[in-house]
Structure 1
Amino acid sequence: MIPPRTRKGMMLPPALLDLLPLGVVLCDADGELVHASPRALALLDVADAATVMSALQAGDFESAAQVPLRVTRHELGDPHQTLYLIEDRSAEVSAANLRDDAWRVMSHDLRSPLGAILTLTESVADGTLPPDPQTLQQVGHYAELALARADGVLRLLRADALRSEQFEAVSLQQIAWEASDACYAAARDRAISVRVDADAAGDDALVGGDVDALRRALTHLLENAILHGPAGQSVALTVADCDTHWRIAVHDSGHGPDATALSVLTGAQRIGRPRGLGLAFVRRVADRHGARIHCARGADGFTVGLELPKWAAEHAQA
């Protein structure tokens, strides 16, 4: 372990940094190493201070031990320091996160609506509540909630089971229109118009993938924009040519997901307890399809898109 440098005014105690589940490297204003946690040394596959900075780079890369890593850089205040967070992106860690998500929903999120149903039915049985339409409506509400959460777990597990050798050619124009149709009622209820701009990509916006998984992922992104963006506005769903990739994107005039939801969507280190499995499903589908998730927040709203490799001609011939 690298001993922490004594520095007046240091804002982040090394003992606290060493407790984090991800690797942490802290540098001063001159770019010199202040502290590196044991987890950081293990992930970077280095043993001393002389090699930490040379092995560190922002973005996605592989360590010397060929472990896929993601490093995010954060500028701190006074005194000026730079914090690097290092995340293990290996398949084993991703699978562990998936199991944690599924277990969380099965052990906690499902218990709440099922417990409410049990309480309502017992209250009707002992005469505390009348068996009227309002009580039945409450039971139905919680039953639908439980089914939706169970369905979320099954979708996530199915996404994890996707294999590229089983992929077929998928038309992004087709799933764009199908996602728009699936969200028609939600858009109508909030007076939101959904504009689909997929014709400019031509008739050959084909990618290799699982059509059902991609459709569900896009539908979830579109539904999020409709339900959480400003009412009475418009949402754009576009397909564009990006050289070796096709990009299918959703744009709305809102502020987009909060930091917790965005950390799930981008695959970054989790910030807080995620709510629901929809964005985790989108992230998993993107990973299985070799897709990049592009997020941008600007003055005109928020855009989220999937960039998927184009379906190669040799695939069609095969």
Structure 2
Amino acid sequence: MNSRRPPALPPGVRRGRVRRVRNLGGVTDPVSIVTAALLALLVVAVAVLAFRTSERQLRPAPSPAGPEVDVDGDLVGLLGHLAAASVVLGPGDVVLRASAPAHALGVVRGGQLAHAELATLAAEARVEGGSREVQLSLPRGPAAGAGRFVAAVQVVALAGDRVLVLVEDRTAQIRLDDVRRDFVANVSHELKTPVGAIALLAETLTEAADDPDAVRTFAERMGRESRRLSGLVQDIIDLSRLQDADVNLESRAVPADEIVREAISRASVEARARDIAIHAGSGRDLALQGDPGLLVTALRNLLDNALRYSEPGTRIAVGVRQGDDDLVEIAVVDQGIGIDPENLPRVFERFYRVDPARSRLTGGTGLGLSIVKHVAADHGGEVTVWSTPGRGSTFTLRIPAATVPPPESTTEAPA
């Protein structure tokens, strides 16, 4: 019987007895070995979970375009930049958000919408969805005599049974559009009158070519209508320039007496024609800060207005004095027909005439006092009026004062 001999060992190595290791970590039971393995796997899983959690915390926040965007926060930020009054309504029309203009305009009071019309629109939008735009006339306050404003309202249905209400006050814009429309209509009417008169006079003049007296009479009337038309066009140009927000004033210190003398000089021809005397007081070295040309135009318009509404043989006085608040006051006092109290608030409106028949007879354009008002406002001043029917009127132009620079000293040779 052959037996396999063990392989030879290298020189110097002794053959020893090999013993099998039956003790694995001190655990000899198979059940204990399985339990230890499961425990090791659990420890590894916990470590991996902790690593992934820390990695997620260190990861940058998602972009606003992602699915985790706070829509309510973005909506509030957007409404904060709107000039219109904005209100976000929840279920039951509870006010969730209301901007400062919404409270200032009176759209929201006591946590609720203040106007039933807005609540009705919100209910319709909540039921039907979408958006709607309307224009409403809403009261400014809860009082019975409160004024009203024109509101452009937009109602939009949002998610979650919410509704967005936007209210914009359009009163000033509507009033401006009305003023422009009335101005165009008035200008057209005022231009049509002298143009039609000139055309009719020209036709009549042609037919009366053989009558020298008739030719002279019609020619004088044509000249008067032409001057009226020219004055109206010039007043429209001046008023348009003064209403420009970027009006360029050649402001400087100008003596008040200089303004008064120039204005009286320009009105002297008409004053002599109407047999009305103009007297002026001294300004006592007072000076105005402003554009000399515009100031003379304003004072000239006040004188023209006094001449048109004064009777022949009366007088007009121009006084200058130092007023309050560092203002110089130039008053034009006449002995004319006066103005009724109910007409005083409207005398500075464009094309408004206290006596339309008298104004047309004297050649007034209806823009003179409006020009005075704009000149005063552009200079940081104002114009006021006091009047009593049958006793005359007093128009006072108040312009900021200035100091007159001392004249340069000159050396003259003896006479």
Distance (whole Å) between structure 2 residues aligned to residue 245 and residue 292 of structure 1: 10
Residue 309 of structure 1 corresponds to 400
What letter corresponds to residue 374 of structure 2 in structure 1? R
Tell which deviates more after alignment, 258-267 or 104-113.
Answer: 258-267
The TM-score with structure 1 as length reference comes to 0.60
How far apart in 2 are the matches of 1:153 and 1:111? 14
User: Which amino acid is 1:140 matched to?
Assistant: G
Deviation at 1:234, TM superposition (A): 2.0
In the other structure, the counterpart of 2:278 is 194
Q: Which of 262, 279, 282 matches 1:178?
A: 262
Distance 1:94 1:35, change over 3 A: closer
| Superposed displacement of residue 95, structure 1 | 7.1
TM-score, normalising length from structure 2? 0.48
1:97 CA drift (Å):
7.7
Given that residues 106 and 150 in structure 1 are in contact (C-alpha distance below 8 angstroms), is that contact kept between their aligned partners in structure 2?
Answer: no
* Cα contact 1:266–1:293 (8 A) shared by 2: no
Change in CA separation of 1:134 and 1:253 when aligned onto 2, cut-off 3 Å: closer
Amino acid at match of 2:345: S
Higher gyration radius (CA): 2
Shift of 1:130: 3.8
- Calculate the aligned-residue CA RMSD, in Å: 4.1
Listed as ranges, the gaps of 5+ residues in structure 1 are 4-21, 27-31, 43-66, 68-87
Aligned equivalents of 1:225, 1:33: Cα separation in 2: 43
Q: How much has 1:308 moved relative to structure 2?
A: 1.1
1:190 Cα deviation from its structure 2 partner: 3.4
- Would the alpha carbon gap of residues 119 and 188 (structure 1) be closer, same or farther in structure 2, given more than 3 Å must change? closer
Per the TM alignment, residue 94 of structure 1 is displaced from its structure 2 partner at its CA by 9.3
The aligned counterpart of 1:216 is: 297
In structure 2, give the amino acid aligned to 1:291: G
| Shift of residue 142, structure 1, vs aligned partner | 2.5
Deviations 1:81-139 (A, max 9, x none): xxxxxxx8x8x7997687457524542211122123223434556x5x54633333333
Assess, with a 3 A threshold, how the Cα gap between structure 1 residues 311 and 265 changes in structure 2: closer, same or farther. Answer: farther
Q: Work out which structure has the larger RCO, using CA pairs closer than 8 Å and 6 or more positions apart in sequence.
A: 1
1:110 equivalent in alignment to 2:191: yes
1:127-165 residue CA offsets vs partner (Å, 9 max, x unmatched): 5x5463333333333222221211121121232247366
**Cα offsets for 1:249-274 (capped at 9, x unmatched):** 11122343456874344569x79998
How many percent of aligned residue pairs carry the same amino acid? 26
SS of equivalent to 1:295: strand
Q: Distance in 2 between matches of 1:156 and 1:283?
A: 10
* Aligned residue identity for 2:144: V
CA drift of 1:230 comes to 3.4
One of 147, 159, 163 as aligned partner of 2:247: 163
Corresponding residue to 1:279 among 369, 377, 397: 369
What is residue 289 of structure 1 aligned with on the other side? 379
User: Aligned letter for 2:396?
Assistant: G
